[in-house]
């Protein structure tokens, strides 16, 4: 993981005032936040709004001043965070210093609860946020999954946050027993917005998609078994080519460490792909594939210690969000040792040769789109504008 030298300083804003600081720690958060910020700034006819961000290239392209590329330094899992603790501690303190000096009107935290919720709490304790008697409103877009694990976080969140925008319709009710009741708004899922360009579509004649994730640690663990599953499938008659999507140069460097056959192409995320089946990690791309009606399976592998902690804390029947929303396994889940090459090859055969599998996937995709529809109250950008009005 590339890291700037420590100690370091975030750059000063380019303007005399900061209306909004956005903090998005991962590729998916960078993408969702960028869409919100782009629409938000498009409503600014006088070009007076100033937005800074700790995020990634998508936020920079949306018009925010990028203070630090968080997507280049994100990690997953308890063990991995411990390995880089000194870096994240320094970054944490530097963000607080920056907020205290430049006093943005609001900070919008986007997902990434491990760091973002701690920042919101410390802002209150240091008197930087409105909840702590300071000038800066604290907002949160894309709720942590309190309905899956650590539900008690909702009370500390209510103590530290002024308002939330959520992307699943059942989430506002999760906060009804806190002081956030009435301040949590469902704004629709960004993947079903009318103007959203999906990166994947279904094509029965298309390649197989292999999607090992967006973070280096996840890709290192998931890609070898996904690759082996595809290779086992490829040993059968009339094998299809495959495509691997990667979100960053860092992930591409990990992929290239493995022996990749000529039948697999590596493509940057953002180039639309029409696929016939998918083996995917449980992250953002799995939702894209589910909404597109691409038949497939979820593959999940993390360090044994992180998995052990997760088993103790997570109390949901599925790890794939599409499966959770539907309350049924649209995508069969192969976790840890169950993610074997033989099992994944079998999944590919079923996806490509079983008409009933495709019909079930199409019905699930239609139901998902209905669940995640855009509400009449407006988009995430509309919600953000109301918070800064």
pLDDT digits over 219-255, tens only? 999 999 999 999 999 998 778 999 999 988 889 999 9
**Measured distance CA(52)–CA(3) in Å, rounded:** 20
Two structure tokens written together for 140: 């949160």
For residues 104, 108, 112, 114, the Cα torsion angle rounded to the nearest 10 degrees is: 60
pTM score, whole prediction? 0.80
Mean pLDDT score, 2-7: 49
CB-CB contact of 388 with 163 (8 Å): no
Q: Name the H helices within 243-283.
A: 249-255
Residue with tokens 């936020």: 59
CATH class belonging to 20-188+374-388: alpha beta
Residue 185, helix vs strand vs coil: strand
Domains 20-188+374-388 and 200-371 share a fold: yes
> How do the domains of the chain map onto residue ranges?
20-188+374-388, 200-371
| Cβ contact 301:320 at 8 Å | no
Placement of tokens 């961000």 in the chain: 53
CA geometry: angle 168, 174, 175, nearest 5 deg = 115
Q: What is the mean pLDDT of the chain?
A: 90
CATH number of the structural domain 200-371:
3.40.50.2000
Rounded CA separation 69/228 (Å): 33
Q: What is the pLDDT of residues 51-89, one digit of tens each?
A: 999 999 999 999 999 999 988 765 444 444 555 567 778
Closest CA to 244 of 231, 257, 226: 226
What is the rounded distance in angstroms from the CA atom of residue 119 to the CA atom of residue 149?
Answer: 20
């Amino acid at each position: 993981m590339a890291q700037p030298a420590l100690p370091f300083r975030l750059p000063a804003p380019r303007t005399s005032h900061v209306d909004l600081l956005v903090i998005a720690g991962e590729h998916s958060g960078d993408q969702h936040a960028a869409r919100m910020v782009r629409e938000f700034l498009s409503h600014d006819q006088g070009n007076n709004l100033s937005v800074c961000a700790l995020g990634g290239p998508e936020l920079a392209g949306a018009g925010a001043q990028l203070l630090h590329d968080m997507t280049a330094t994100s990690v997953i899992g308890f063990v991995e965070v411990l390995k880089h603790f000194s870096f994240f501690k320094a970054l944490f303190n530097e963000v607080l210093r920056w907020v205290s000096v430049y006093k943005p009107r609001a900070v919008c935290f986007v997902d990434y609860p491990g760091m973002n919720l701690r920042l919101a709490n410390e802002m209150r304790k240091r008197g930087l946020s409105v909840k702590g008697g300071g000038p800066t409103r604290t907002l949160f877009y894309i709720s942590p999954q309190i309905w899956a694990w650590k539900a008690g976080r909702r009370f500390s969140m209510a103590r530290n946050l002024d308002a939330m925008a959520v992307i699943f319709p059942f989430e506002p009710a999760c906060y009804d027993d806190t002081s956030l009741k009435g301040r949590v708004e469902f704004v629709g899922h960004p993947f079903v917005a009318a103007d959203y360009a999906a990166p994947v579509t279904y094509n029965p004649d298309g390649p197989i998609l292999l999607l090992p994730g967006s973070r280096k640690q996840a890709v290192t663990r998931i890609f070898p078994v996904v690759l082996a599953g595809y290779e086992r499938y490829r040993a059968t008659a009339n094998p299809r080519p495959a495509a691997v999507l990667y979100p960053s140069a860092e992930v591409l460097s990990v992929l290239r460490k493995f022996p990749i056959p000529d039948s697999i192409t590596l493509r940057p995320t953002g180039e639309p792909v029409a696929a016939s089946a998918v083996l995917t990690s449980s992250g953002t791309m799995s939702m894209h594939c589910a909404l597109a009606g691409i038949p497939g399976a979820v593959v999940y592998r993390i360090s044994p210690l992180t998995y052990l902690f997760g088993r103790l804390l997570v109390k949901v029947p599925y790890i794939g969000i599409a499966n959770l929303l539907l309350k049924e396994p649209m995508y069969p889940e192969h976790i840890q040792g169950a993610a074997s090459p033989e099992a994944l090859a079998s999944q590919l055969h079923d996806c490509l040769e079983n008409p009933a599998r495709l019909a079930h996937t199409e019905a699930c995709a239609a139901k998902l789109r209905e669940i995640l529809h855009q509400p009449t109250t407006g988009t995430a950008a509309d919600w953000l504008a109301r918070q800064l009005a």
